[in-house]
Amino acid sequence: MSVQPAQPARRDPTAWQLAPVPTTGDLAAAEAFCRDVARRHYENFTVATRLVPHRLRQHLANVYAYARWSDDLVDEAASPAEAARDLAAWRQGLEACFVGRPGHPVYVALAETVRQTGLTIEPFAHLLDAFEEDRAFDAAGVAVRFADRDELVAYCRRSADPVGRIVLALEGCRDAALVAMSDCICTGLQLVNFWQDMRRDRLAGRVYLPLDDMRQHGVTEAMLDAPRAAPPLRDVVRAEVAWAREQFDAGEPLVGVAPPALRPAIGMFLAGGRAVADAIERAGFDTLARRPTVGKWTKLRLAAWAWWRLQATPHPAGGGPS
């Protein structure tokens, strides 16, 4: 595990800052832009995509670029009003994309993915619903955002679970039982990210700890402003991490029953989420003083483990990475 000292909220480069945005509707240029955004913004993308067949890699880049751009419209906006305008225009672009009239380069690339795979608009729209919810909370000045775990899970259903559903659908998988397992993994990943980033989120005016859990453990909002987590805050984070691990356990069977082409990448992300939970535990459940992270060598080890599992598992012809 490596750790980073707590510091003021630091904005990551936006999707439009990571690579030159194409000015034409050329598909090749749009796809290259999406690959650049995914590779430069998300350090695990290159590793993860090596675990899926070549035919899926561009589709994953297109989906990632869409999600990243959508999120940045809210997180990087100068004001909630600007975010509202940009999100409304972006949603119109999404609707145009799914009727074959893409305008923005991200939508030009995504439209080709839709054409080849038959993806539906619903999970993409649900992501925008979550970002709109963030914008509304920001505009209202609401810090502690969810009354209980049920409300937080409902948010994860919009903010995280759609990504897993999209990935399964790339392989034509819409089985309800498998989707439920995917939802558990994606919710668990979102949860550990929240507990890992409590300092950063607090500095941005966002608190994802459920209010019920805070009250149960005697945690006040002011405790989140301290340089170190007080014992009650550590107790609530311990409970939230245990909850995230339960989500991982519930979703673990997906690694063995998902479409074979996706199993190694799913396994890597599941193991990565558990590694973040372990890092938080090793930090004594204090993510105010230091932000626990999973080191590069651990990530490479997880990728190698996922690759080994792929080699040890029989696949239909053409089912493994290429």
- Check: CB of residue 163 under 8 Å from CB of residue 67: yes
- Is the residue at 80 inside a domain? yes
- Asked if the model's pLDDT at residue 69 lies above 60, the reply is yes
What are the tens digits of pLDDT across the range 276-293? 999 999 999 999 999 998
Residue 122 lies in a domain: yes
What's residue 308's pLDDT?
55
The structure's pTM equals 0.88
pLDDT at 60: 95
Instruction: Assign 17 a pLDDT band (cuts: 50, 70, 90).
Output: confident
Q: What CATH number did the domain enclosing 295 receive?
A: 1.10.600.10
Query: Per-residue pLDDT for 50 more than 50?
Result: yes
**Residues 176/148/123/198 CA torsion (nearest 10 deg):** -120
**Number of domains composing the chain:** 1
- With cut-offs at 50, 70 and 90, classify the pLDDT of residue 294: confident
In a domain, 320, yes or no: no
Which tokens in the block code for residue 150?
């049920």
Task: State the residue range of the domain holding 232.
Answer: 2-312
- pLDDT given at position 311: 53
Model confidence at 234, in pLDDT bands (50, 70, 90)?
Answer: very high
Q: What mean pLDDT is reported for the chain?
A: 88
Could you give the CA distance from residue 134 to residue 119 in angstroms, rounded to a whole number?
25
* pLDDT at 49 > cutoff 80: no
Angle between helices 54-75 and 80-97 (to 10 degrees): 150
User: Is a pLDDT exceeding 80 seen at residue 44?
Assistant: no
The answer to whether 258 touches 289, Cβ cutoff 8 Å, is: no
Q: Are 162 and 154 in contact (CB under 8 A)?
A: no
In a domain, 321, yes or no: no
319 in a domain, yes or no?
A: no
In a domain, residue 180? The reply is: yes
pLDDT of residue 120 exceeding 50: yes
What is the separation of C-alpha 256 from the centre of its chain, rounded to a whole number of angstroms? 22
Closest by CA to 147, choosing from 210, 200, 196, is 210
The per-residue pLDDT for range 215-225, each reduced to its tens digit, is 999 999 999 99
Write down the pLDDT at residue 295.
58
**Residue 237 included in any domain:** yes
116 domain residue, yes or no: yes
